[in-house]
Amino acid sequence: MADTVLSTNALPTTAGLDVAAIRRDFPILSTVNRLGKPLVYLDSAATSLKPLPVIEAVDAYNREYSSNIHRGIYEIAEKATGLYEAARASVAKLINAPEPNEIVFVRNATEAINLVANTWGRKHIGRGDTIVLTEMEHHANLVPWQLLVQEKDGDLEFVPITDDGVLMLDVYEALLHLRPKLVAFTHMSNMLGTINPVRELTEMAHAAGALVLIDGAQAAPHMPVDVQEIGADFYAFSGHKMLAPTGSGALWARRSLLEAMPPFMAGGDMIREVHLRRSEWNEIPWKFEAGTPDISAEIGLGAAAEYLMKIGMDNVRAHEHAMAAYALEKLREIPGIELYGPSADQRGGVVAFNLPGIHPHDVAQILDRSGICVRAGHHCTMPLHERFDISATARASFNVYSIPEEVDALTAGLREVVRIFAV
């Protein structure tokens, strides 16, 4: 396969976004693979790259004030606590939460959803109660509810999707007649890229008396999110998908819900008083943050939130929409390729595809020789793949640092895959 040179000269500017300048913030993009090929990173939906402000924020904690939070009264401990709580405020600002104390720090969206399932869910879901999900959910927004209804003898119902990967709202409306206790759905599908009408879905659920949880792991990094405007009750997202370190993430929930929910884990820092036979819980959000957290990771999450807000989430969304549209256009030039999901206007920066007769793992391995990183597998959405009668897909996904030349490299790489397999 011919070398692909990714030029940062005269890059297109999308909605005022200087992508060349942004790419200089990501040191990893200057690396090459073992064969000397430049990195073409198209797996941001799995884990995003990290910009210098995030790397430096994490490094500063480890180098300059590495200490525990909410405990020490010496200078570096107070600095760590202050920056940790400042990160909470930045995350709250990113999603327009009413107050920082409605942000619970967790390791990822998976932990956030499990927190809700094991606290609010175990308290409020009983025998015969219904939870409504969709066919496009990530396993993280499916398996916790499976476990809960198995324990409580409840029921799960699912909103189906069209062949284009769009929710069937007429069926959703019918399912709401079952008076579910909870409706949980993804803001944006990690496999199809479908952006769901979350405000409309939330309003319909509330009219039926249900609470709403939104899995925002694929949305919070890529588009403006306003939890007050959406009107949901819970919103979960991961840091490692939004330019922050692994081991960071957040759950936003309404104060009244958090105050009424029992603790998720027990131990240090989530208590106000402890006696031998009883304890009193700390205020929110610390009631849900037992033990020493990954302090540097959450500080990094705050730095990532500030970085994204400086760019502007409207700009991020416009850029990734342009990337998705360009990718769909270029990939359709490959004979026989199968693309999944809706049009560019209804999707985020994710494109899943298959080449007929070639397993996605083979596609990904051959692309890797040229430094092109794509995901191959079921992307933690096995039921969604079953819906399309396929076992796996390859997936290219974009971020604020992605450029059209990377799509060109992907297209050339896929043509080479077809040539090798001679299909």
Same domain, 243 and 323: no
- How confident is the model at residue 12, as a pLDDT? 47
Domain boundary among the residues 310, 338, 370 is at 310
Same domain, 305 and 373: no
Answer yes or no: is 277 within a domain: yes
Q: What is the pTM of this model?
A: 0.95
Number of folded domains that form the chain: 2
- How confident is the model at residue 193, as a pLDDT? 98
Please name the helix (run of DSSP H) or strand (run of DSSP E) that holds residue 201, with its range, or none.
Answer: helix 198-207
Answer yes or no: is 292 within a domain: yes
Q: CA 248 to CA 242: how far, in whole Å?
A: 10
Choose, from 380, 382, 390, 412, the residue flagged as catalytic.
380
Helix and strand totals (H; E) in the chain: 15, 15
Same domain, 178 and 156: yes
Tokens describing residue 112: 């956030």
Quick check: is 380 catalytic? yes
Structural domain that includes position 401: 19-38+312-421
- How confident is the model at residue 4, as a pLDDT? 39
Helix, strand, or coil (residue 398): coil
Same domain, 100 and 191: yes
Same domain, 77 and 34: no
The CATH number given to whatever domain includes residue 227 is 3.40.640.10
- How confident is the model at residue 220, as a pLDDT? 98
Same domain, 96 and 29: no
- How confident is the model at residue 238, as a pLDDT? 98
Answer yes or no: is 369 within a domain: yes
Answer yes or no: is 237 within a domain: yes
- How confident is the model at residue 32, as a pLDDT? 87
DSSP state, residue 195: B
Answer yes or no: is 64 within a domain: yes
**How many Cβ atoms are within 10 Å of 241's Cβ, its own excluded?**
27
Within a 13 Å sphere around the CA of 62, how many CA atoms are in the beta-carbon half? 11
**pLDDT (tens place) for every residue of the chain, 423 residues total:** 334 335 443 344 455 689 999 999 999 999 988 888 999 999 999 999 999 999 999 999 999 999 999 988 999 999 999 999 999 999 999 999 999 999 999 999 999 999 999 999 999 999 999 999 999 999 999 999 999 999 999 999 999 999 999 999 999 999 999 999 999 999 999 999 999 999 999 999 999 999 999 999 999 999 999 999 999 999 999 999 999 999 999 999 999 999 999 999 999 999 999 999 999 999 999 999 999 999 999 999 999 999 999 999 999 999 999 999 999 999 999 999 999 999 999 999 999 999 999 999 999 999 999 999 999 999 999 999 999 999 999 999 999 999 999 999 999 999 999 999 985
Same domain, 295 and 319: no
The CATH number given to whatever domain includes residue 373 is 3.90.1150.10
Can you give 30-62 as a three-state secondary structure string? HCECCCCCECEECECCCCCCCCHHHHHHHHHHH
Residues 6 or more apart whose CB falls under 8 angstroms from that of 275 comprise: none
Same domain, 234 and 302: yes
- How confident is the model at residue 15, as a pLDDT? 53
Same domain, 224 and 348: no
Phi, psi dihedral angles at 156 (to 5 degrees): -110, 135
Same domain, 344 and 248: no
Answer yes or no: is 47 within a domain: no
Q: Please, are residues 209 and 131 in contact by the beta-carbon 8 Å criterion?
A: no
Same domain, 268 and 416: no
Tokens describing residue 346: 């209804």
- How confident is the model at residue 34, as a pLDDT? 84
Answer yes or no: is 394 within a domain: yes
